Structure 1
């Protein structure tokens, strides 16, 4: 099931090391005009109420997303991550749930998805938690979440991200079927990003055929270099490395024998 969310502008949070402040609820937004080819969809958005778990903690005061089965799944999802509760997290995801993360070249299948979240919770340690900046709920069973990571209540730089969730109904239970994760890049090219884009688009226009091949299969670009290494470099470098390793082994043995002889001479002379 595919869904189109209307474009929304998000205010970039400050990345100074300081506790996040409490924010108020944004009123529900409704799209006022209909564009040709774009369906009219309801958007409900809410900001996280505090820095220590956002809208994940029901016992904290502040703004929360209006209760709905989808928002409950989202809140339970991040609450399970923050509490390192893998069993509860597994119950929220469909058996065939997959992840498309910008940090990976290919989508993660169901098996890798469970491993991914298990390693994520292990990497977070005890004091790192997800804090929700904004939740946007679209028509159907789709939602988008703006989030960042915090350590002991302090914002971690370069930890912002956005996740899109597509859910499906399994019996009477709403489960997460697909997750798109977009992570903030620590590299900030600034104005040079447009210059790089201009260079890339010009190269694509000048060399359209190679550009099409690259866009269809980016990993295929590295295949000629792999073949070059495999057939022309590996047959020579592997024997050389083997010889180099044995050479230093013999050198080490020779030095050991020399030191042993010098030690024995020293003992006799003394």
Structure 2
């Protein structure tokens, strides 16, 4: 990517991006707005790494000037560079010992042990040709950052692999370590205009059955438990042995048919 990031301005309890400075002749801020702006810490939005792992340039004309960096953005870039290079040692040096991951693909947050396994399996699944490409890095206060990313294979964007990650870092002496990661993956399902209709139906069902809704929202995995019990009591002890026997039966039948065909083929050759 060789295009600059557009200036963004929105209000959020977590992130507030730095807006363009207004022109004095066109706009005059009131005292209340000036006081609010003075108390707000400016946050910076910058482009991340390109598909080849290096920092993106500001524009086509100035290819030698890289975007300004900070200790927090350097940690984020180093993190994705370690994933792309499959460098697990360097990745471990960027993660705090108590680092946890909250991924929308999982029901519950991943603890410290599962987090290490998660990143290891992620690097194995990426192989040699799949790389992370960072779109924007929005740096917040108190060592927080939001990253827009996508996956590419040999420079081609892989469908349904875009996402956003929110990082919370902490100081460990003179270095910053990643302490918590929130990962929001792109959903392969695109309901479009039906999304609001589905939300309306879900809201109606939650309001109609409040007790069941409360139990489900407290423990979503509880819905699967009846099916697990059904499998443990009926499928595993009775149906699985039958299926195994059925599979072996047809294996013997296939072998018998092979022997019969060989005999018939031998007799046919002798007769001819």
Instruction: Give TM class, smaller chain.
Output: 0.7 to 0.9
Q: RMSD value over aligned CA atoms?
A: 3.1
| Post-superposition offset of 1:147 | 1.5
Structure 1 residues without counterparts, runs of 5 or longer = 1-19
- TM-score (norm: length of structure 2): 0.76
2:2–2:56 CA contact under 8 A, matched in 1: no
CA spacing shift, 1:133–1:222, aligned 2, 3 Å = same
Of stretches 150-159 and 67-76 in structure 1, the one that deviates more from structure 2 is: 150-159
CA spacing shift, 1:253–1:202, aligned 2, 3 Å = same
Structure 2 residues without counterparts, runs of 5 or longer = 9-16, 20-32, 58-62
| Post-superposition offset of 1:160 | 1.5
1:53–1:132 CA contact under 8 A, matched in 2: no
1:82 corresponds in structure 2 to 84
Q: Is 1:29 the counterpart of 2:18 in the alignment?
A: yes
Please state whether the residue corresponding to 1:204 is helix, strand or coil.
helix
Q: How does 1:51-200 map to 2 (within 5 A)?
A: 52-53=52-53, 55=55, 61=64, 64=67, 66-200=68-202
CA distance in 2, matches of 1:69, 1:186: 34
Q: Is 1:221 the counterpart of 2:223 in the alignment?
A: yes
1:99–1:179 CA contact under 8 A, matched in 2: yes
| Post-superposition offset of 1:33 | 8.9
CA spacing shift, 1:84–1:242, aligned 2, 3 Å = closer
How many residues of Structure 1 are paired with residues of Structure 2 in the alignment?
245
2:60 corresponds in structure 1 to none
CA spacing shift, 1:241–1:126, aligned 2, 3 Å = closer
- TM-score (norm: length of structure 1): 0.77
CA deviations over 1:178-230 (Å, ceiling 9, x no partner): 11111111221100111111111110000111111111111110111221232
Of stretches 159-168 and 233-242 in structure 1, the one that deviates more from structure 2 is: 233-242
CA deviations over 1:103-127 (Å, ceiling 9, x no partner): 2222222233223223323333334
Please state whether the residue corresponding to 1:134 is helix, strand or coil.
strand
CA spacing shift, 1:48–1:229, aligned 2, 3 Å = closer
CA deviations over 1:232-263 (Å, ceiling 9, x no partner): 34443124213313432442343244334434
1:16 corresponds in structure 2 to none
1:47–1:63 CA contact under 8 A, matched in 2: no
CA spacing shift, 1:63–1:33, aligned 2, 3 Å = farther
| Post-superposition offset of 1:156 | 3.2
